[in-house]
Amino acid sequence: MRFFLVIISIVTGLQQPFFAQSTEDVFKLASTRTMNMVRQLKDSTKIPVTQKADGTIQWANLYDWRSGFFAGNMWQLLEYTKDKAWQAEARRWTAALEPLQYFTEHHDLGFMVYCSYGAGYRLTGDEQYKKILVQAAKSLSTRFNDATGTIKSWNTFKSWKDGTVYSYPVIIDNMMNLELLFFASRVTGDPAFRDIAIKHANTTLQNHFRKDFSSYHVVCYDIVTGKVLARETAQGYAHESAWSRGQAWALYGYTVMYRETRDKKYLRQAQGIARYLMNQPNTPKDLIPYWDYHAGNNTYAPCTPNAEKYGKGEIPRDASAGAIMASALLELCDYAKINEKKKIVAYAKQILESLSSPQFLASHQESPFYLLKHSVGSAAHGGEIDVPLIYADYYFLEAMLRMKKHS
Ligand code: GLY
């Protein structure tokens, strides 16, 4: 059956459902789709992030948290194909992000700058890229506060519960910004960036997690006393539920923390999160999670009418959460004992097989631009439901690259 689908896809120019059988298939498709976006957008300040209902590209400007992923995809294309044409495009789209090095308005600089400039530096050794990364780490560090022991995520957060506006919210996603800080300490020899990352990770470990290793999305702090004022959700189903992408960010973040510090408490945390996710009773057979592990579960009170709407009927999946989780697991397995490692790799492999199947890999008709369909941006806000997302593609490519050494 698989073979038959592949032949149909090749003969008809990918008009039929596409079944990627290998890393090669996925990267070929990524080359075609990424080039389609480059041709369509031309201007590198318009950065593709998702697809509109009419099938056209939704783009964002450089200050959007997703701005580094498109260039990041091109660097991954260069890494896999070694085709220099990708280096030229990756450089062009990365250069458009240069002003970000001075940006201090939210916490997402790690995503924006490390997936783009970080990859560029790793692959080219360009000294200018290093300077920009260090300056970005300085900018991110301005959001750290000693009293809370964390980097502030957003400038404010308005509670779905009671409308309270909090001025020091920290979201679990913030764990993904710490890799940039470790990089900056490594290349400058200044431990200050790394110290901030460790303090942030320790505070988050203490305040963001429940006993079962699931994580709250948002924790709000008092900036003077550092006390936790609230634990809620912004994008999940319920305040006490497990928003799927948030859990994947936590898994990825603590795996990176162990890589960077070799402190066993981070490994135990990442392993605990992995166990929680891999043993979730409410995971579909193909292992691509619903947008929230508890969406539609009536022991949890939905936080918004939109969350409630997407907890009924056919509950949307979040392919992006699956891709991030697969990529994180494929690093975590390197730190596991042999039996555990086998289980982790098998789980990640099954996720990647599902993402490579017609159920999640978009046909040309479904999207000439993105690889994966069926992701969710924010169901609570009612936005980007069951759509392609640029970061789903980014972590899918990263996971496929990481899977190579296990195939
Ligand atoms: N803040 C990143 C996300 O929506 O996952």
Whether 107 has a pLDDT exceeding 80, the answer reads: yes
Predicted local distance difference test score (pLDDT) of residue 17 = 54
Do the beta carbons of residue 53 and residue 44 sit within 8 Å? no
Whole-prediction pTM value?
A: 0.95
Residue nearest atom 1 of ligand 1, based on CA coordinates: 173
Which residue carries 């990481």 as its tokens? 402
Which atom from ligand 1 is nearest to the alpha carbon of 249? 5
Whether 269 has a pLDDT exceeding 70, the answer reads: yes
Predicted local distance difference test score (pLDDT) of residue 406 = 86
For ligand 1, the distance from its centroid to the CA atom of residue 185, given in whole angstroms, is 26
Task: Taking each helix axis as running N to C, give the angle between helix 23-41 and helix 84-95, from 0 to 180 degrees, rounded to the nearest 10.
Answer: 50
pLDDT digits (tens, 9 = 90+) for 131-145: 999 999 999 999 999
Whether 322 has a pLDDT exceeding 70, the answer reads: yes
Predicted local distance difference test score (pLDDT) of residue 18 = 58
Q: Which of 249, 385, 394 to mutate to test the pocket of ligand 1 (most atoms within 8 A of CB)?
A: 249
For ligand 1, the distance from its centroid to the CA atom of residue 154, given in whole angstroms, is 12
For ligand 1, the distance from its centroid to the CA atom of residue 200, given in whole angstroms, is 18
Whether 12 has a pLDDT exceeding 50, the answer reads: no
CA–CA–CA angle 240, 246, 250 (5° rounding)? 110
Residue nearest atom 2 of ligand 1, based on CA coordinates: 173
Predicted local distance difference test score (pLDDT) of residue 203 = 98
Which atom from ligand 1 is nearest to the alpha carbon of 108? 1
Q: Looking at residue 177, what DSSP letter applies?
A: G
- Which candidate, 159, 78, 142, places its Cα nearest to that of 104? 142
Whether 277 has a pLDDT exceeding 70, the answer reads: yes
Which atom from ligand 1 is nearest to the alpha carbon of 245? 5
User: Which residues are tagged catalytic?
Assistant: 108, 173
pLDDT averaged over the chain?
95
Residue nearest atom 4 of ligand 1, based on CA coordinates: 377
Which residue carries 């490579």 as its tokens? 356
Task: Taking each helix axis as running N to C, give the angle between helix 244-261 and helix 319-332, from 0 to 180 degrees, rounded to the nearest 10.
Answer: 20
- The pLDDT confidence band at residue 407, using thresholds 50, 70 and 90, is confident
pLDDT digits (tens, 9 = 90+) for 219-250: 999 999 999 999 999 999 999 999 999 999 99
For ligand 1, the distance from its centroid to the CA atom of residue 56, given in whole angstroms, is 22
Which residue carries 């057979």 as its tokens? 285
* Lining residues, ligand 1, CB within 6 Å: 65, 173, 235, 245
- The pLDDT confidence band at residue 3, using thresholds 50, 70 and 90, is very low
3-state secondary structure of 404: helix
